[in-house]
Amino acid sequence: MNGYNFAYLDEQTKRMIRRAILKAVAIPGHQVPFASREMPLPYGWGTGGIQVTASILGREDVLKVIDQGADDTTNAVSIRRFFAATAGVQTTTRTADASVIQTRHRIPEAPLTEQQILVYQVPQPEPLYRLEPSRAETTRMHALAEYGAMHVKLYEDIARLGQVAISYDYPVMVNGRYLTSPSPIPAFDNPKLHRMPALQLFGAGREKRIYAIPPYTDVRSLDFEDHPFRPHRADAACALCGSRQSYLDEVVTDNRGGRMFVCSDTDHCASRRAAGCEGVAA
Amino acid sequence: MAYVAVKGGERAIEAAHAWRAEARRGDPALPALDPAQIEGQLGRAVDRAMAEGSLYDRKLAALAIAQAEGDLIEAAFLLRAYRTTLPRFGASLPLDTERMAIRRRISAIFKDLPGGQVLGPTTDYTHRLLDFGLRDGQAPPAAPVADPDRAPMPRVADILAAEDLIRPDPPAAAEPADITRAAPGFPPPRDARLQSLARGDEGFLLGLGYSTQRGYGGSHPFAGEIRMGAVSVEIVPEELGFAIDIGEIVLTECQMVNQFAGTKTEPARFTTGYGLAFGHADRRAMAMALVDRALQARELGEDATAPAQDAEFVLGHADNIEATGFVEHLKLPHYVDFQSEIEAVRRLRAMAATALAEAAE
Amino acid sequence: MSVAPATVVPPDRPGFADPVADAQATFRAVLDALARPGRIHPAGVGLDAPAPLAPATAALLLTLVDPDTPIWLAPALAAARDWIVFHCGAPLVADPGAAAFVVTTELPPLDRLAAGSDEAPEAGASVILQLAALGTGPRMRLTGPGLAAPSLFAATGLGAGFVAAWWANRALFPRGIDLLLCAGTELAALPRSVSVEAL
């Protein structure tokens, strides 16, 4: 794109972000402050993820962008176009072909590899913010690894409701040290965070924080011995590919309670259908 | 199939942009708005877009306002996104507002003072009656012209300071903070606070400033001085080693004066709250000064219990580009999270129903 | 305290041939090196580095260092000082404890370097240590984040006290320093999170 540097950000900004990313990798799960730039997309649309992607992306990379697991949601389309225009990189919808995957709210169903980097868009990097809105205070809590308040909150849920009421953005302990937000992925995706072969980078633009989970790092969803963490999905099969393992979107088909369930990961669903799998609506 | 329809995609985006451009242009029978007209005739909108966009450029601000259909937060956003791509050639010397070419200068605490009261181009005493003459493009009567007084006009706070009646500001860091280059820590120093406030949302500053007048962190303010006019911007190029004038910008500066009862070690004095805004913006500069004073509570040993005194709260929510982004992002798809919530609610309901049934047995 | 040279004469050695692409490639190498401790990556291949900097060391500096990062340069590398100041614009500091990047050929006393605080451990320094060779020399076993299983690593020139010094650094976690190792046109890294055992 004329008048702008490769991947939009100037080189000094990239250096600043790259230094933050390296420290984030060295301290798994710790939120590293960075001087987030104003991007030409609004805060909340993935400015943190975009800045991370822009700082790691090279001409040889193949980029996939998903939102809600899908490549064709409007914001995924918009971000993919942004990088196609500013970096001229090859883009793909196929998970297996991507070297960098930027995501909002999902982890792809297909296991990722050592050759891939997963970049998360993060609206709220602070896992404690519902319990303590002051970042000065939560910074202190992280420094002391003082996470009792979060355990109490989960325990109260169990005592009152019989189970933990958090269904997405379910807090995790990274490498046994930092309580970390996995971003608003469904709790269903949490097990994929654990010892993932791919590097996971998290960018929060408005909140000006970057954090990381290195490959093969222990990531434990908070739970209790007598109430182990359990991922949930809709108890249904994808209407298109028949999958009973994938995370499903619920689609309202009429005003009379009609529902249909389809894979949230569109590439996963398409690959299964290409391999001959069929659901009831196929 | 419905499923395909909800996933909008590329064509929907393109169509939306085209529709938006058409709506912005409005009735093609009317002449298109020239940004120069906005620059010339909607000056207060330009001032606000520049302040919140954190970029002093009247022409770009006018263009942004036209592009944003007059949505000033959107215009500020356009300016910020442009500003962030600009290389930095240097930093100016501190502006000297004492040498301002005064267009307006009023003090609410002295009847008269060196330099006098200069009302300037204000709406303060207009009657808010719609001026139907504007519809016919009537030219206004010529305003009387006086020779500008170029003599330095001392700031009211300095007049008080000469009598040791103003608490001096503690020495500032040699290099002021820049919140756009480094994330400020907490508690933020005053320079970082002032920078945040200077580009903060005018409505938010106004509401907070107002709250301090109603007892939420009350600090008994007087408008020591409000001055507006052009100020020279000077830089010292490394190769020259002396200051050169690179142009002038119009600013509104406000110094609020508040009583300070003193402490065991300090005599009673006045303290100041400081506001500075691009262009002519009394409301913005005054609100900023009120909030700046409220945020000094801790440093002055006052109880900090009101929202306007909580630096983390104020600075965390003053930026309307951040705020509008996060509020409006709720319209992006969230169906994956909502699906997990709906499943959780169904599970909880099923468990509750089972428990009820068991209790009934 | 920064010690800025009075004048900077453009050095005869160039920086990156393609500043954007070369910095990106070097960054990805060091990113993967920190994400997978001990793995050796090519870096600075084709870079005409100023003596006594190895190409990998020079490439890392061009990629990560700029006016925002104070650096401490070991006397053994002083001949490259003008090149660093010209190409990176980094302020040189006399106290290694004030440096964001410590650039050296010998492991410095780690307890004299910035380790960050419990609230801001990211302020811990990065040590760019230029060695004789990576992949050969005393062997050690690495465990920690980034490693699927304990992995073997070898480097020539870390010094006899390295493992003990690293344990002391590891014990500070999340505070501590991160080690970026360069030799010739190769680099590897040991983040503060990794544990090292001598074999």
Q: Does A29 touch chain C (CB under 8 A)?
A: no
Q: Return the residue matching tokens 């325990």.
A: A155
Model confidence at C6: pLDDT above 50: no
Asked if omega into C42 is within 30° of 0 (cis), the reply is no
The lowest-confidence range among A105-114, A222-231, B216-225 is B216-225
Closest CA to A128 of A104, A103, A152, A105: A152
DSSP A5: B
What subunits touch chain C, counting only 3 or more CB pairs under 8 A?
A
Which of B80, B339, B355 is facing A234, going by the closest CB pair? B339
Cα–Cα distance, B191 to B171 (Å, whole number)? 11
Residue C105 amino acid letter: T
Q: Does C193 touch chain A (CB under 8 A)?
A: yes
The three-class DSSP label of residue A11 is: helix
pLDDT, tens digit, 9 for 90 and up, residues B324-357: 999 999 999 999 999 999 999 998 899 889 888 9
Domain residue extents for chain C: 19-198
For residue B173, the model assigns a pLDDT of 77
Question: By the 8 A CB rule, do B275 and B288 touch?
Answer: yes
The lowest-confidence range among B115-119, B209-213, C139-143 is B115-119
B113 pLDDT band, cuts 50/70/90, is confident
Residues 40-99 of B with CB under 8 A from A: 77, 80-81, 83-85, 87
For residue B277, the model assigns a pLDDT of 98
For residue C56, the model assigns a pLDDT of 98
Better pLDDT: B301 or C110:
C110
Helix axes C19-35, A11-26, angle to 10 degrees: 10
For residue C8, the model assigns a pLDDT of 55
Model confidence at A144: pLDDT above 70: yes
pLDDT, tens digit, 9 for 90 and up, residues A171-215: 999 999 999 999 999 999 999 999 999 999 999 999 999 999 999
Residues 166-185 of C with CB under 8 A from A: 173-174, 178
DSSP A244: S
Q: Does A195 touch chain C (CB under 8 A)?
A: yes
Cα–Cα distance, C102 to C87 (Å, whole number)? 17
Cα–Cα distance, B341 to B343 (Å, whole number)? 5
Model confidence at A69: pLDDT above 80: yes
Question: By the 8 A CB rule, do B95 and B215 touch?
Answer: no
E strands, A23-158, are 32-33, 62-67, 90-91, 100-104, 117-121
Report phi then psi at B331, rounded to 5. -85, -5
Report phi then psi at B24, rounded to 5. -65, -40
Please report residues of A whose CB lies closer than 8 A to that of C174: 27, 30, 177-178
E strands, A44-186, are 62-67, 90-91, 100-104, 117-121, 172-174, 178-180
The three-class DSSP label of residue A100 is: strand
Please report residues of A whose CB lies closer than 8 A to that of C20: 5-6, 11
Catalytic residue among A205, A241, A242, A279: A241
Please report residues of A whose CB lies closer than 8 A to that of C66: 12, 15
Catalytic residue among A46, A49, A203, A238: A238
CA nearest C173 in A: which residue?
A: A27
What subunits touch chain B, counting only 3 or more CB pairs under 8 A?
A
Mean pLDDT of the region B293-313: 93
- The 10 Å Cβ neighbour count of residue A272 is 21
Mean pLDDT of the region A134-156: 95
Please report residues of C whose CB lies closer than 8 A to that of A213: 145
Contact check, Cβ <8 Å, C25/A143: no
Mean pLDDT of the region B107-130: 92
Cβ pairs A/B, distance under 8 A: 152
Please report residues of A whose CB lies closer than 8 A to that of C122: 20, 23-24, 27, 30, 32-33
Model confidence at A242: pLDDT above 60: yes
Closest CA to A125 of A183, A185, A78, A83: A183
Model confidence at B196: pLDDT above 90: yes
CA nearest B78 in A: which residue?
A: A40
C-alpha radius of gyration, chain A, whole number: 19
Mean pLDDT, all residues of chain A: 95
Question: By the 8 A CB rule, do C60 and C27 touch?
Answer: no
Cα–Cα distance, B307 to B192 (Å, whole number)? 18
The CATH architecture assigned to C19-198 reads: 3-Layer(aba) Sandwich (3.40)
For residue C1, the model assigns a pLDDT of 37
C5 pLDDT band, cuts 50/70/90, is very low
Model confidence at B83: pLDDT above 50: yes
pLDDT, tens digit, 9 for 90 and up, residues B199-214: 999 999 999 999 999 9
Please report residues of A whose CB lies closer than 8 A to that of B342: 250
For residue B219, the model assigns a pLDDT of 75
Which of B326, B335, B340 is facing A188, going by the closest CB pair? B340
A277 among known catalytic residues: no
Contact check, Cβ <8 Å, A187/B340: yes
Helices (H), chain B: 2-6, 10-25, 35-41, 43-53, 58-67, 72-83, 156-162, 190-198, 202-213, 282-295, 311-317, 320-328, 335-360
The lowest-confidence range among A133-147, B115-129, B148-162, C42-56 is B148-162
Strands of the sheet containing A172-174, edge to edge, are: A178-180, A172-174, A219-221
- The 10 Å Cβ neighbour count of residue A41 is 18
Cα–Cα distance, C159 to C163 (Å, whole number)? 9
pLDDT, tens digit, 9 for 90 and up, residues B132-145: 888 888 888 898 88
pLDDT, tens digit, 9 for 90 and up, residues C168-197: 999 999 999 999 999 999 999 999 999 999
Contact check, Cβ <8 Å, B9/A139: no
- The 10 Å Cβ neighbour count of residue B148 is 12
DSSP C125: P
B1 pLDDT band, cuts 50/70/90, is very low
**What ipTM does this complex have?**
0.95
Model confidence at B90: pLDDT above 70: yes
CA nearest A253 in B: which residue?
A: B2
For residue C9, the model assigns a pLDDT of 59
A2, two tokens: 């004329």
Question: By the 8 A CB rule, do C55 and C27 touch?
Answer: no
A29 among known catalytic residues: yes
C7 pLDDT band, cuts 50/70/90, is low
The lowest-confidence range among B67-71, B118-122, C94-98 is B118-122
To the nearest 10°, the Cα dihedral for B139, B143, B148, B149? -150
Contact check, Cβ <8 Å, A19/C117: no
For residue A84, the model assigns a pLDDT of 93
